[in-house]
Chain A
């Protein structure tokens, strides 16, 4: 089955800075692809090229078979975009924003009104529909922004860090909307720097770093790639960290990783868990086995945590 989004050798430079150093990716119909990476890794540049807002310097990208450069107008007919900053008009009300987009998409007045009413209902904005967007909370603006990108019922939806800056409750609301859309058959390309978000929403992941694809796969396959289960222990008292580290060292012939919260991690197994449980002589807050998180994946792939603020991409 031909991919809905197909990207080959995509490259973009901004002056001396390379934003994309030649990336390839493809997105299956009806799937959610997570584009994961720290700030400056090239996620937004990719989305802007795919939504025809930027021209690539080299390489090829197409959406539903339409080339994003040669056939940009056709691409604009089938995609919706929700950017990092809510692209809605503060001075208009919620429904007016949606009606404006509907009219620009060549719907009649009646159709525009019906579509706007339907969307405010769906996104829980009916009560605030007639209020100016200026008075909306951050979460409401994001939902309106998402609604605005859905006015034309796009086959492909680009979400550029859709939950950045939202509190957990609003983040969950956006997640639910994305899941619903995917279930309805919309193909979604989502960028995020939150590993949890990628884990929650995406079936396939592409990990970007410094404008290059450093890994692809499903969340599960990436976790497996990093290794098997991990055993983690957190003593109740920080003063016991040394003693626990010594014990783990004796049992595994390996020095455990110790994170700033005082949690110790080593490659683990149920046998090891039992052994540790039997020999720990200090009170512990946490002890268990887990699959590596995407945080672990990122650390393994790049040698640094995902949330570490990176400098702009070096030239």
Chain B
């Protein structure tokens, strides 16, 4: 299969790569760009461990061909912190113990980030709905919901 040119902006960095057209976005992020923060739990779009933002909207990177993302802007977990400044969600996840094994955490943070980008004041049910696709086998979700809620309530501001 002939390789194709892929132009991708990931976490504000522009990349040009030649890839096989069958390559998934998650494979390009992890294997080609070394951004292993994005995980892969099922490869069938059922666990959402691979969630990234594609042009600002959540996407399961195991269910997107990389070439479909040509020209797109991608944000991964590595792009959430600004240098040493963690995002409010990241800080809140820390304080609330909203991670255990950590394998779903990246996807969870991306889903939550997308929610708060879209809706600054989601109700608890909307928070649950936003992470409904993300499987977490460790925490039972409630600490994650509390962490997101704390950000919604303004207890974690952007660090200046």
A and B held together in a complex: no
